[in-house]
Structure 1
Amino acid sequence: MRYLSGDEEKTALEHICNAVVIAQNATCERSKCGAVIVQGDEVIGQGYNSPPGDYESQRRCSCSKASYHKKVTDKTCCIHAEQRAIMDALRNNPEKVAGSRLYFIRLDTDGNVLKAGKPYCTICSKMALDVGVAEFVLWHEEGVCVYGTEEYNRLSFEFGDGCGYGRCV
């Protein structure tokens, strides 16, 4: 991982601002997330978190997560912003996904940007790794940080609960 500076940080913040706009479309009741995938200077995919197909009938936010079977590792009802961005890129720009960079942001319930913690979502990190996304970008308290996707995936598993499943919120 490395922290960005100068023009590279400025460009990253522009893409993060784009992800903020996308996140405002999210219908998750707990947090709004946005993701943008960029190849060069071109946005090739974008996504926000909401129930599958944006169907309200698929919303399970009020369900007790403790009641799920232990093999249900993703306790959310939403498709993750990163997943939607990857699917969007694969649908519309499949030839540009390899070597791309994914920018992710989370908003609080009032729409304010929340700085990222450690990488933790093994579901999204594995998917990004499998399709060839080269880097993840998060905005931490210390600044904008870029992770190689292999490193991001490894850190996500390290953050997990010890059984190989990361905690996705």
Structure 2
Amino acid sequence: MIATLAGSLSARAQAITEIEMRGTPRGERIWFDPLGLAVVPGTTIRFTNRDPGNSHTATAYHPAIYGRKRRIPLAARPWDSDFLLPDERFEVTLTAPGVYDYYCLPHEMAAMVGRIVVGTPAGAGWEGRSKDTSDVSDQVLAILPPAERIIAAGTVSWEGRS
């Protein structure tokens, strides 16, 4: 299983990996898809707003950005896409192994969040997710798939979240 996983992760680093920002036509539901994603260090993630009715952000949980608790690896650089209008995109390259949680600034309370797992727990420099959940709602925590599930599946779509 480890060799297969390593091989499939290597293939994913070859190209830019896209995460879409989505929403229903009336805006009653918004989400990132995939919700969970496993990649190798050095993968570039492209966030693209495919929601015709809303602007969105892709924002890392980090004290340097809006004073949030850190939910990305210590060695990682935080990011904030700023507001993306429909069909706009933002890219970030993730190099530090570990678990990265991120959110949409105006829609976090609607649980528009996601998780990216870079590398594997057996890899050098791996850092698991932050244990500090004091500034994240229970609703947000319930939506985020466990890192183990993301690693096993490669991706967890919004529809396959439960």
Does TM-score exceed 0.5, indicating one fold? no
Q: Which has the higher strand share?
A: 2
Q: TM-score per shorter chain, which class?
A: 0.3 to 0.5
Q: Structure 1-normalised TM-score?
A: 0.32
